[in-house]
Structure 1
């Protein structure tokens, strides 16, 4: 038996080597018949021994139909990218980065950052992949999801033959990020024999990777390119070049186009060159990505709430087409805003069939000469994944039927109010789309994060159980839910458990869930951090609010007005009475105490057995600590779990305080 295992390992290594040359390097090393013979021998040995090693190429064919997607929490966040669509946007990004570098260098003359240099990468149009390798073995694969939590798709990813199941790097855990794609030539070949041809390569790849039958994924013959190490507990890189070399050395398929440049002017010139090449690639790209190459500079520049400051996506110009405007629908949103949506004769733009287009408001209709355009030809534009918009009429004549704005709310028949360029329904208490939208928003991931809840659920609860306010959700019982269509015992119990779990929430998320007009996630966090309690915020006057960061007169009046509204006050009172407990008070109380983490810069490394690193980071931040990703002279404390690597070594060299005992950590966190 040991001999059989050794033979299997040798066969796997040889087949993987040939796969790498064929699928990653596009340089076949043996004939198909020779490859088939090696594969058949491996299959025979696996059948004889009853053992299939986890990195065997035979696991790529797709196994049993899966029951569902498991939630997967990433070890490091996957960030979105800020966008630049022209010269001014690109230069504004560069100016901001250069200013931060100059400020840092002025404060740290002994360790200045190097002059800015850049890398340009292709922005693939597929599905983002995050792969986890543990001591060289592929152990997890997930979609991007929220950036913190994605869906586990390991079985599907294993069918992509250009992705290594085992890599030479065996020192620890790494997360590798890339894009799953379908080559255009593969799409063409697939559609020649497919019963249902696929519309475009992007949707084909995304649909295949999110299909519960891995055999379907395998049939699509997907590919993947990789461009980033998002997390590593043992290895660090000084430059993007080093990281790219690491990816290549570990058999990952790297973009065929990478350009390293020293000046932003050269970057802009090269961007224009690549724009003219966009249709020469055998895969879809929807833009380019510009990144600063030096890793220490990236660490210093850091992140906003949504984006890294050291990278920007340069988006291609939108594509346009001509079609006929058939009609306009008026839709009511959760804030009562009544927005027009244009229905157009179906037209194909870059493989996507467009039938609906954005029209922002009545002023937008008149400005674009669309007042008398029903039945007329119009220009439409689709920019990447954004909903297409109408640019204007093809002719200047008023040769079509008139677009007539509604006189009353199209959903409930109530009076409409004009605010600026927009129409609003005044019936906030009994307008179905407003209430359904408000409840759906309340339950969403960035708000109360009520698992399994959807807009369809909100509509069903509104129609069949008279749920009119978010507070009504917490009064629902098992007997209420079980009588609903498509609600079995398991689904009802799961939703009730999600309601109960959501009661313990942080104040910023609770405020966002309330749907305060003119406020987003960033603003609600500013409010939570400043006031520290719901009561204090509800009593705040506009003059106090306007003094806060990024809150102007309009937003301040909007916030104060929201909390003065008797209907909103009643809703909040009912939510609190049902057991919802926003917990900002605890955060500020903990942070104000004399604890060892208050005001300290803390780095986490290794694996914590008693809690996840993300959970630990949140607890540290509640205690007033600043949690960063890398060790420097500014680091005060390193928390080292199992398998701590280079960060621990660097902390030891710098004489930084190290906490490597989890019992001690729990005591310091006040949880022992």
Structure 2
């Protein structure tokens, strides 16, 4: 493609991708499938790679996260980002309104226009646009100097890389609040807890931690959002009022909280506050009050500033979502992946309008750190999570004889022994018979990459459990036609198909059975290594940790996890029942002495002529190893379209690089 045609195509693709981003993220009305979107995105990446000089400064490919930063550089704000004075009562707001009028020399009955907006519980940032392009983004810092987090801010879909206007201002500085919506916050915390990592205390901490990542690829994976609320330094554009600014910038694709409103006088201001209080628990993000600003910029300039805060704005905080109560009982909750979490039963207490009777204690390390015991008087808080958390213990009210809870030795759901892997906070049950984990275990076992039981989807599995037809994965192979006929909308033909699919799954490859068991830290790749090394489930079950560590790419933590799984007597019983049911997995033999025995391949980029799984299978059948990273021991790197760091590293190390066609020719 010639440069002129490439430039036109790049401009068209950039515009089209941004349009689809708006349809998907802002309007929830996607016009194309994810696969079609990915195809457009890959085409743009390919053209930018071929013609780097034609890449637009606001290209949507700039959002995916760049190289890791060594450190954050400092950015001095052109105008200080001041703190706001806080108000806590209705009288505080009446006093604020009176002060504004006295300072401006206005009559006591003057109805001053104010802009009211929800006070987001997020991270304050500043965006600087020059000639319509995002030039720099920084944190508030100390109000005078912040940190340059431009690369991370570029990953946020709500932040336009180019203002959508035909006549952009020469300079536009915008202040905003980056936040993490509640739904992804809860999911994020749940994943951290399941991984044995400490959860974030609230969405603000999660947003701050995400925004200050040194590697913007990590930030790009977290669904941060932003609301813009105030101008900073301007050039080539003027606004008469706060409301004028907030009405204009959304037309340039800078998001403003839709609940922002102009009110007139103190009574409308008080009504707005009460309305936000009532809406607070229904919002998809966390707010902790409302911000009230004098609307007129002329009045703002006349009112001026105090040492640390403007006279024309105030933050009216909501009552704290905290209350004092008593821990009546500490019990153990078993999560869907076997993590056992301590949870406190509380003497019911009203916390910000909601009756609370239990609180999460997160994990045993957190429980020990806060030293929470049954009978303790504690402060509980609702801070963006479904289940409130215990903030602290009031030690001088601790009853005599209160005993610190101990980590359970047996699972409260099934009675099986629990394990605590090295370097993990989480305590887990690894039993295949655990009823608390059964749904997720069966889903995983039947999934396409595991035993691939065609047709046995989530809804059917849920019905099997609700009808108590299975208690572990081995029970799948004892099901009969009359069992399936109990399902809703089940016909004889469909029941036969399900039974045939179950029967067919009995002869899957050994690696797929190992993967299907859901052993902690054992994914598809590790399962293949274990299948190749031990040849049968029986041999794997008998292997010592030393023997497991001797397998390439199996480290001590993975070895301990595998050994703990097979030390569980209930798991061994389930495996015996699988064997009795006729589950006889096949072992894919490697061609010893083949052309690639002892060789290592790495596949990278978007492969078009075969899938990554197909490629791995080809080399493994020839005795070679398919690795996930490039090292000095790598013999070949097969590079598809848009190959990135792995290809670059291969060239640096002098590893032979093959195209897809060259790889296929090599395999003939």
TM-score, normalised via structure 1 length: 0.48
TM-score, normalised via structure 2 length: 0.49
Greater Rg by CA: 2
